[in-house]
Structure 1
Amino acid sequence: MLRRGLLLGVVLLGLSVLGGVAQAACSDTRVEMRGDWGQAGFNVEIADTDALRAQGLMNRETLPRSAGMLFIFEAPTSPSFWMRNTLIPLDMIFVDPTGAVTHVHHNAIPHDTTPIPGGDNVLMVLEINGGLSRSMGIDIGSELRHPRLDDAIALWPCDP
């Protein structure tokens, strides 16, 4: 009987910890991604104003592998980016209001002012180190989870 009680306690503790992990995955400074390739998380800075979006990751000499910047728009749009004053190559992952990846621009070239269009119906853009999305398998159809997505329509809601 003691052994069953101990086992039950361990199981409940495990579920409690897992619940905490799921809760921690949905914070404003973290993005979770998944697909047939697996799952990954990135610590992100938020760019949700015109000024922050204009600055982006300009003048940064490095970006940690598990970090990125999440650009969030007020409503779905057709954004276009460039790499002026950006010192490192970046992957740009364009996401619709459901959290689905609709386009990935791989290895944007530092300092290039050629427009990089993201397509229509884009609510968020995740910028990560250049080449990382390809090496991980992040592509069209992958899903992003973040609390600024509407859980009612999100493919991978924060609060299922």
Structure 2
Amino acid sequence: MKATPPSGAETLRSIAIPFLFVLFIVACARDADTPARPRITIQHGEARAEVTVELAVTPQQRAQGLMYRRALDDDAGMLFIFPTDSRSGFWMRNTYIPLDIAYIDADFTIIEIRQGTPLDETVLTPASPYRYVLEVNQGWFAARRLGVGARVTIPAELLAAR
């Protein structure tokens, strides 16, 4: 007796099931390897907002910042953490996204917000020393009615990263 060849549906099923299994494993592995992005909170009076941040803690990370990026999610930003107060400025060399650059003192209060123009090499230096800097899309603070004097809540585990 000869075996009949499998039908088209059986062949497709025999290929699809292992393929879907492999896709599932890859998706799970990618999620496990992708670190959760922390969120910080900014509040001023009744106005309150959260932003998901990438961290710039090392000198190399701080030097790179958001350079070469073409887009930034609306609720995302980069938090620069310095080990001590700093007075150096920021610039927009190789940065294609217009940014709000918020300088934050050691007491977690926003002391100044400057607007960064894409590719502009003007150094944006705040008038007072700062300990942290938050970069978000330009207009982010105004759209949420937040500004100078707002308080920033940074999770303790992020501060331990410095």
Give the TM-score band, short-chain normalised.
0.7 to 0.9
In 1, the alpha carbon distance for the partners of 2:46 and 2:114 equals 18
**Residues 37 and 136 of structure 1 are in contact (CA less than 8 Å); yes or no, is this contact kept in structure 2?**
no
| Separation in 2, partners of 1:37, 1:131 | 19
Q: 1:37 to 1:74 in 2, by over 3 A?
A: same
C-alpha contact 1:79 1:119 (8 A) present in aligned 2:
no
Q: Secondary structure at the match of 1:93?
A: strand
Following TM superposition, by how much is the alpha carbon of 1:55 offset from its aligned partner in structure 2, in angstroms?
0.4
Q: 1:37 to 1:115 in 2, by over 3 A?
A: farther
The percentage of aligned residue pairs carrying the same residue is 34
Alignment of 1:3-152 (within 5 A): 29-106=38-115, 108-146=116-154, 147=156, 148=158
Higher gyration radius (CA): 2
The TM-score normalised by the length of structure 1 is: 0.72
> How large is the RMSD of aligned CA atoms in angstroms?
1.7
Q: Report the more deviating stretch, 62-71 or 131-140.
A: 131-140
Structure 1 residue runs of 4 or more that deviate by more than 4 Å after TM superposition? none
TM-aligned CA deviation for residue 37 of structure 1: 4.7
Partners of 1:95 and 1:123 within 8 A in 2: yes
Number of aligned residues = 123
Amino acid at match of 1:50: P
Q: Partners of 1:51 and 1:85 in 2: how far apart? A: 15
Partner of 2:143: helix, strand, or coil?
helix
1:100-156 Cα distance to aligned partner (Å, 9 max, x none):
0000113x1000000000232200000000111122122111000002459xxxxxx
Structure 1: runs of 5 or more not aligned = 1-26, 151-160
Give the Cα separation in 2 of the matches to 1:87 and 1:74.
Answer: 27
